[in-house]
Amino acid sequence: MDILFLIGGLILILLGANGLTDGASAIAKRFHIPNIVIGLTIVAFGTSAPELAVSVSSALKGSADIAVGNVVGSNIFNALMIVGCTAMFAPIVVQRNTLLKEIPLCILASIALLVMGNDRLLDHADDNVISITDGLILLCFMAIFLSYTFAIAKHPQPIPTNEGNAETTAIEEGTEIKDMPLWRSILYIVGGLAGLIYGGQLFVDGASGIARSLGVSESVIGLTLVAGGTSLPELATSIVAALKKNPEIAIGNVVGSNLFNIFFVLGCSASITPLHLAGINNIDLLVLVGSSILLWIFGVFFGKRTITRIEGSILIACYIGYTVWLISNAG
């Protein structure tokens, strides 16, 4: 029964995210908002909507380890597994701007989460808690990131090669906006939100039930099963982009999603209720930081700003190793 809840909830979440994105994009297009802005905001939010639905539902139900584990696990899955799998299909050229600004911002976001989750070590507190104040700070970072995104969209930097236009074209091609009447757009948005909310509740109930039946902690389920499930939109988008000979979009997809997850998803969850960390430890948070650093190192030092198939296989191996370690220590 728990598996049915898990699968049914995930299907509702994915359908809800798709409906919400289509409806919101159609309304944005009606008001003549540029495709690239829609791609960098509404579509990015749509692919992170499953994480938002699950983490907020978990926070409200008191399952903080699923809420935080979902974000941490999703970001690790994105940086290691999604980029690794995409690079196995086709080597990924990384833009200079991404290496100098966006990936370092991901590293900074991960370090900020590491600091916020270490109250015992830094403040000698009784418990590690991501507080409401921490959540509001993360949302402030989200506002700064959105303003930066809009600035890039309004004033794109001139790039001498075709690679700059490639990412813009990729985002715009990936942002296929359906024309629909206003009433249908509103219906899509309302239906999408309903699917996200109800699907999130089902998914969390199923995940918690599976954790209890297997005798493992909610943090392990959050870091693996829940994280992998909610990262399906990013995985699908990146693999489709690679099959269409446009693997560069995977990096933008992963970086944007990871920043959304920490700043917005975790910010919203912690702003609603403090998140007490019981099963999420420093090893998980350090793996999160390390995965972003590894992505940056591969982009800067090897292969002339290209993540090669060999580097992709190393990223996948790192994720498999981390997952094996998690499961072996699940008891």
CATH of the domain at 296: 1.20.1420.30
Weakest-pLDDT range from 18-32, 65-79, 89-103, 254-268: 18-32
Helices first, then strands: H and E counts in the chain: 18, 4
Q: What is the C-alpha separation between 206 and 4, in angstroms, rounded?
A: 7
Q: How many separate domains does the chain show? A: 1
Please give the residue range of the domain that contains residue 306: 2-328
128 DSSP β-pair partners:
277
Q: How does DSSP classify residue 261?
A: I
Residues sharing a CB contact under 8 Å with residue 140, sequence separation 6 or more, in sequence order: none
CB 288 within 8 A of CB 107: no
Check residue 252 and give its pLDDT.
Answer: 78
What would the mean pLDDT of 231-239 be, rounded to a whole number?
75
C-alpha atoms less than 13 angstroms from C-alpha of 156 in its C-beta half-sphere = 15
Spatial distance between the Cα atoms of 58 and 203, rounded to a whole number of angstroms: 9
pLDDT recorded at residue 71: 92
If you ran DSSP here, which 8-state letter would residue 32 be given?
Answer: T
Kindly report the average pLDDT of the chain as a whole number. Answer: 82
pLDDT one-digit tens code per residue, 261-309: 999 999 999 999 999 888 888 999 999 999 999 999 988 876 578 888 8
Strands (E) in the chain, as ranges, are 92-93, 128-130, 275-277, 306-307
pLDDT of residue 105: 92
Tokens representing residue 326 in the block: 């998690």
Give the pLDDT confidence of 180-229 residue by residue, as tens digits: 788 888 898 888 888 877 887 788 788 878 877 877 787 888 888 888 87
Residue listed under structure tokens 């995409």: 86
Classified as helix, coil or strand, 244 is coil
Cα separation, 8 vs 244, in Å, equals: 30
**pLDDT band at residue 164 under the 50/70/90 scheme:** very low
The alpha carbon of 8 is separated from its chain's Cα centroid by a whole number of angstroms, namely 21
Backbone phi and psi for residue 130, each to the nearest 5 degrees, phi listed first: -90, 105
For 180, phi then psi, to 5°, come to -150, 155
Q: Is 80 exceeded by the pLDDT of residue 236?
A: no
Q: How far apart are CA 210 and CA 217, in angstroms?
A: 10
Percent of the chain with pLDDT over 90: 28
